[in-house]
Amino acid sequence: MSSLIQRVAVANRGEIASRVFATCRRLGIESQALYSDPDAGLPYVDDADVATRLPGSTPAETYLDAERVIHSIRAVGGQSVHPGYGFLSENADFARAVQDAGLLWLGPPPDAIEAMGSKIRAKDLMRAAGVPVLEAPEQPTEADLPLLVKASAGGGGRGMRVVRRLGDLDAEVESARAEAASAFGDGTVFVEPYVESGRHVEVQILFDTHGTGIAVGDRDCSLQRRHQKVLEEAPAPGLPDAVRAAMHKAAVAAGRAVGYVSAGTVEFLYDPAGERFWFLEMNTRLQVEHPVTECVTGIDLVAAQIGIAEGRTLLEVLGTDTTPEPRGHAIEVRLYAETPDAAATPQSGRFSRLQIPHDMAFDLLPRHGVRVDAGYADGSEVSTHYDAMLAKVIVWAADRPSALRALGRALRRSRLHGPVTNRDLLETMLQVDEVVAGTMTTTTLEQQLSGEHPIGGVPAGDTELGPYVAAVAIAVRDAAARRVQHGIQPGWRNVASQPQRTSFEVPGRDEPVVAEWYAGRDGFRHPTEDWTVVSATPDLVVLMVNGHRMRFEVHVDESGEMFLDNDGTIRERLRPLPRFTDPADAVASGSLLAPMPGTVVKVAVVAGAQVAAGDVVLVLEAMKMQHTVTAPHAGTVTEINVEPGTQVASGEVLAVVEENS
């Protein structure tokens, strides 16, 4: 056995860095964080024993700069490197450079990474190892549709396109190549059959340096939006025993075929109708969804990676060298700063409050409960430079229905005050029939989002109750702040001829919402509703509504935006409007506003050009994804205010298209 590891540097950021540090603390190992300038204030930086700055903001000049990363680790006497996931985690050249620098690599051999780094080469290796693979048609015909275009070096849905018309194939291949080249530096793509109602099932494997490898359970990751996982669970529900055993055997064969060492994941596409499965890819790293496997097996996968790197056998690391039996059921959802609709538009900005009720963070749960692995906290800023995942909410329970119920409660009771998140989507997703039954496929979520009644939560502001509560809180706050008539009831009038009015801007509403209220010696009252204010402070308003006592927490951030939380029953965000609007704040008709902060990567038209409704005007890149901004109507482009490379803020006027008369 090699010498014990004394310090681990994580060549990554956010929640995965904090996750590794949690295990390091438990094992008595020192830790080192690397951080870019936008990440300087994130929690993981303070979680580490040593933190080293990587000057710059973009991934290319920070976490993807292998030479700088290795120099920063060696400069403080680093000993070993954990790659996390994303960035350089599956870069064979980086793994070799780490080893050449005399550092211990907490991952698989570079040759194994390289072998699985190309999906095309990986499929050849798997075919030779007897692992079933989807065979790509050499000359696709209409009978082969639908087809899936995939990036050979890709992941996370980037460089991936579904083709349903043969005439679209060439254009989609070129589009996938461009996105793959931008995201991975490799524009190689391939085409394979697209299985419409398949399930995404993956198997966790562990291999030691002595040639022993085992499957450590399986996970279902079928709920995806735009080919990115949203919910993962272990064990995979409804999987026949024979199929499960065959998948585990195939996963171990896949690892053995490339001389694998450490933790890895083999992903399969499963066809429930025919009880068949095919190899998709192998992730030569720790997966985002690894906590659900940890919950049901009791295995700390990061500790296993460290033990294996130290030369220990699986028997020494785990106490067993056989596949462990799962205990209970675990489900994880990914909480993102993004819109909860089909567009999934990334959001950025500061969270004045980010609180998710939990029993444990970043570590093994001692009993059934809620675990949260979060990369952000109160006061954290979500930048435009990196992935917008805020946290993973993981629930472990005795059975699957109990886990779904507990997960829904944790989401409802979370306080997320800042950029828009996908929390509403996650909550309602848990109630979809296929999800409840455990029969979801890779198309379930997309179908729900595009259906006649898409999921995504109850629109904010669908009742007058929230604005009324906000108006009461404002009135109480303003009364307390008055220098004169300090003891007078807010809104009090000798003769009230009409109610007081407070206007709010509410997301999802085209027009302002107006709350009406009276205040007098007997307190507040609504002009028409029987809503009794039991007590009111600027932070807490308690009402009696139809015989029910309702408690509203009121939070106001530094921008003045208000957030109301009623233990998940009612949840709203509102912005109080001034009584008079500054004309300078008006936006010209036809203005194209930035839907999110980002970087302009393409301007498709010039000032003076004629465009039709839906024509692409420019393309933004944010959170590593590209988003097109199109003309809202036919007309003339009268202004172009940006150029490629311009950094823009959300709501900024990018261009103006005047409608043709």
What is the DSSP track for 303-343?
A: HHHHHHHTT--HHHHHS-SSPPPP-SEEEEEEEESB-SSTT
Paired tokens of 337: 């700063």
Q: Are 6 and 13 in contact, with CB atoms under 8 Å apart? A: no
The lowest-confidence range among 23-37, 98-112, 165-179, 393-407 is 165-179
Paired tokens of 303: 């500790």
Three-class secondary structure of residue 232 per DSSP: strand
Asked, for residue 588, whether it belongs to a domain, the answer is yes
Q: Is the C-alpha dihedral spanning 109, 111, 116, 118 positive or negative?
A: positive
Give me the helix-helix angle, 92-100 and 110-117, nearest 10°: 170
Q: Are 328 and 397 in contact, with CB atoms under 8 Å apart? A: yes
> Both 632 and 568 in a single domain?
no
Strand positions, DSSP E, 478-569: 500-505, 513-520, 523-525, 531-536, 540-545, 548-556, 562-565
> Both 75 and 164 in a single domain?
no
Strand positions, DSSP E, 579-642: 591-593, 598-603, 610-611, 616-622, 625-630, 635-640
Look up the domain containing 484 and give its range: 465-576
pLDDT (mean) for 350-366: 96
Q: Residue 155: what pLDDT?
A: 66
Asked, for residue 117, whether it belongs to a domain, the answer is no
> Both 345 and 445 in a single domain?
yes
Among 519, 547, 576, the domain boundary falls at 576
pLDDT at 455 over 70: no
pLDDT at 312 over 70: yes
Paired tokens of 162: 């579904």
Q: Residue 473 belongs to a domain with what CATH number?
A: 3.30.700
Asked, for residue 169, whether it belongs to a domain, the answer is yes
Give 152-187 pLDDT, tens digit per residue: 776 666 778 888 888 888 888 888 888 888 777 788
DSSP type of residue 4: P
> Both 417 and 385 in a single domain?
yes
pLDDT at 465 over 80: yes
Beta bridge partners of 251: none
Measure the CA–CA gap between 353 and 375, rounded to whole angstroms: 13
Of 183 and 388, more confident: 388
Q: Residue 28: what pLDDT?
A: 97
pLDDT at 228 over 50: yes
Asked, for residue 127, whether it belongs to a domain, the answer is no
Sheet arrangement for strand 161-163:
161-163, 147-151, 189-193
pLDDT interval class at 496 (50, 70, 90): low
pLDDT (mean) for 288-303: 98
Asked, for residue 72, whether it belongs to a domain, the answer is yes
Contacts of 369 (CB under 8 A, 6+ apart): 358, 359, 360, 395, 396, 406
User: What is the total count of domains within the chain?
Assistant: 6
H-type alpha helices, 38-168: 43-47, 66-74, 92-100, 110-117, 119-128
Q: Which helix (H) or strand (E) holds 473?
A: helix 465-481
Measure the CA–CA gap between 306 and 209, rounded to whole angstroms: 12
In one letter, which amino acid is 342? A
Q: Is the C-alpha dihedral spanning 10, 12, 14, 16 positive or negative?
A: negative
Q: Supply the mean pLDDT for the chain.
A: 90
> Both 83 and 60 in a single domain?
yes
Q: Which helix (H) or strand (E) holds 373?
A: strand 369-374
> Both 598 and 655 in a single domain?
yes
Q: Residue 650 belongs to a domain with what CATH number?
A: 2.40.50.100
pLDDT at 151 over 50: yes
> Both 188 and 211 in a single domain?
no
Contacts of 68 (CB under 8 A, 6+ apart): 54, 62
DSSP type of residue 577: P
Q: Residue 555: what pLDDT?
A: 97
> Both 315 and 224 in a single domain?
yes
Asked, for residue 233, whether it belongs to a domain, the answer is yes
Q: Residue 226 belongs to a domain with what CATH number?
A: 3.30.470.20
| Highest averaged pLDDT of the listed ranges 14-28, 461-475, 505-519 | 14-28
Q: Are 376 and 42 in contact, with CB atoms under 8 Å apart? A: yes
In the block, tokens 């190899």 appear at 279
Query: What HEC string does 428-465 produce?
Result: HHCCCHHHHHCCCCCCHHHHHHHCCCCCCCCCCCCCCH
> Both 320 and 201 in a single domain?
yes
> Both 236 and 289 in a single domain?
yes
Contacts of 553 (CB under 8 A, 6+ apart): 415, 539, 540, 564, 565, 566
Of 498 and 289, more confident: 289
Asked, for residue 635, whether it belongs to a domain, the answer is yes
Among 268, 293, 327, the domain boundary falls at 327
The lowest-confidence range among 294-303, 357-366, 408-417, 594-603 is 594-603
Q: Residue 495: what pLDDT?
A: 54
Q: Residue 15 belongs to a domain with what CATH number?
A: 3.40.50.20
> Both 436 and 417 in a single domain?
yes
Measure the CA–CA gap between 94 and 89, rounded to whole angstroms: 8
Among 545, 576, 607, the domain boundary falls at 576
pLDDT interval class at 456 (50, 70, 90): very low
Contacts of 175 (CB under 8 A, 6+ apart): 161
Tell whether omega for the bond before 235 is within 30 degrees of 0, i.e. cis.
Answer: yes
> Both 334 and 286 in a single domain?
no
Neighbours of 316 (CB within 10 A): 15
Paired tokens of 360: 């444990």
Q: Residue 154: what pLDDT?
A: 67
Asked, for residue 121, whether it belongs to a domain, the answer is no
pLDDT at 584 over 80: no
